[in-house]
């Protein structure tokens, strides 16, 4: 680019008066050169400066805080090395929060993925009023997590909630949604599932639509039914997108806060009277801003950060492995099936 542009000042300048030429040409030339060289950096600089200041610096400084005894009000009170980490790793409440986070995450990720695949498969058919149905599965997404939690925590109310009312009307025992561990996890996971399943279904739908139609046609021609086609063709080909959905669900799911925070406002400890559904970010919040222990809370933040990074790397490695073996296996499988079908047709 520089090569094609530099001659420009030289070409235009002969039209100008001779005395000015000596002064103006080098300046204009240099300005242009500076423009070309510096502009790319100037355009990306605001992002890097701002992101460094408000994104990376706080994260890094969290580590510094975690190495100190540090109170919210009185500030730093001495370097303690990794003591905060040791204390937290021996604290049953920390492990409890981690267990709750993982349990809620699994209860939301697995049904969500299955539901999203099902919805996407239904939407992938040649239905009438496509846009309407696609939009309709996205409606929960525009209800904010705070509103979702308020709605669901009323429905899951133990005494007057809609769900327990229905259960008793069928002569079933009411479930203690807000005081028992597993039911509370199910309730919180259902909020996440309600809001995100349709969203993820649309991502998977896009992946399904990218599968070439003639593959389906030739399989159908060879006698593969709709169910068979779905399991041996659709599912394998959307696997990379499914992994993408899982990764984003992991990063978000491990930081869940709003739903457990607002699920039952009447308890003194956030996350249930006996911390039945206190997630790690909620535990961090309680430690930092209720118990005012910034040092320990920062250690928790860094432990969670490492766990999220670990999950991210694992996801990445697994998905790369699957992608490479998948490509080989599916090619072989497809070839084998095609020959099988052809043989069956002949005989």
77-85, 115-123, 176-184, 270-278 -> range binding another protein (CB under 8 A): 115-123
State which residue, 142 or 328, has the beta carbon closest to another protein: 142
Eight-state DSSP code of residue 68: E
**105 CB contacts (<8 Å, ≥6 apart)?**
249, 250, 253, 254, 256
Determine the 3-state secondary structure of 71 from DSSP: strand
Among 10, 77, 147, 172, binds another protein (CB under 8 A): 147
CA–CA separation, 130 and 126 (whole Å): 8
Member of 210, 310, 318, 327 binding another protein (CB under 8 A): 210
Nearer to another protein, 56 or 329 (CB): 56
Tell me how far the alpha carbon of residue 116 is from its chain's centroid.
15
Q: CA-to-CA distance for 277 and 186, rounded, in angstroms? A: 10
Q: How far is the CB of 152 from another protein (least distance, A)?
A: 7
DSSP secondary structure string for all residues of 95-160:
HHHHHHHHHHHHHHHHHHHHHHHHHHHHHTS--SSHHHHHHHTTGGGGS-HHHHHHHHHHHT-TTT
- Considering only residues 62 through 91, tell me which ones interact with another protein, judged by CB under 8 A: 62, 65
We find the least distance from the C-beta atom of residue 151 to another protein, in angstroms, to be 5
Residues 289-318: x where in contact with another protein by CB under 8 A, - otherwise, as a string: x----x--xx--xx-xx--xx--x------
Residues 2-61 that bind another protein (CB under 8 A): 4-5, 8, 35-37, 39-41, 43-44, 46-48, 50-51, 54-59, 61
| Dihedral pair phi/psi, residue 169, rounded to 5° | -70, -20
Residues 241-260 that bind another protein (CB under 8 A): 244, 247-248, 251-252, 254-255, 257-258
Q: Which residue in 82, 106, 135, 327 binds another protein (CB under 8 A)?
A: 135
């Amino acid at each position: 680019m520089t090569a094609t542009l530099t001659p420009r000042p030289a070409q235009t300048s002969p039209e100008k008066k001779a005395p000015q030429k000596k002064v103006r040409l080098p300046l204009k030339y240099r300005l242009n050169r500076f423009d070309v060289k510096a502009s790319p950096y100037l355009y990306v600089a605001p992002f890097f400066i701002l992101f460094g200041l408000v994104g990376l610096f706080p994260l890094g400084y969290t580590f510094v805080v975690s190495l100190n005894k540090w109170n919210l009000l009185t500030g730093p009170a001495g370097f303690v090395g990794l003591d905060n980490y040791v204390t937290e790793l021996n604290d049953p409440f920390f492990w409890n929060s981690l267990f709750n986070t993982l349990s809620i995450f699994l209860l939301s990720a697995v049904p969500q993925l299955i539901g999203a695949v099902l919805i996407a498969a239904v939407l992938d058919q040649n239905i009438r009023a496509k846009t309407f149905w696609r939009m309709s599965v996205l409606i929960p997404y525009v209800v904010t997590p705070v509103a979702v939690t308020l709605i669901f925590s009323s429905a899951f109310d133990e005494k007057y909630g809609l769900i327990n009312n229905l259960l008793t009307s069928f002569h079933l025992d009411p479930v203690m949604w807000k005081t028992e561990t597993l039911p509370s996890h199910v309730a919180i996971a259902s909020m996440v599932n309600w809001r995100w399943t349709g969203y993820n279904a649309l991502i998977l739908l896009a992946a399904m639509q990218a599968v070439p139609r003639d593959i389906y046609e030739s399989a159908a021609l060879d006698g593969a039914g709709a169910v068979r086609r779905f399991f041996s063709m659709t599912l394998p080909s959307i696997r990379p997108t499914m992994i993408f959905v899982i990764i984003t669900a992991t990063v978000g799911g491990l930081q869940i806060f709003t739903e457990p925070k607002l699920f039952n406002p009447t308890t003194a400890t956030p996350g249930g009277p006996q911390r039945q559904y206190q997630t790690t970010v909620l535990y961090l919040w309680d430690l930092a801003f209720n118990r005012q222990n910034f040092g320990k809370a920062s250690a928790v933040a860094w432990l969670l950060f490492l766990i999220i990074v670990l999950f991210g790397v694992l996801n990445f490695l697994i998905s790369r492995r699957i992608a490479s073996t998948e490509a080989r296996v599916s090619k072989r499988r497809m070839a084998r099936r095609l020959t099988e079908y052809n043989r069956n047709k002949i005989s």
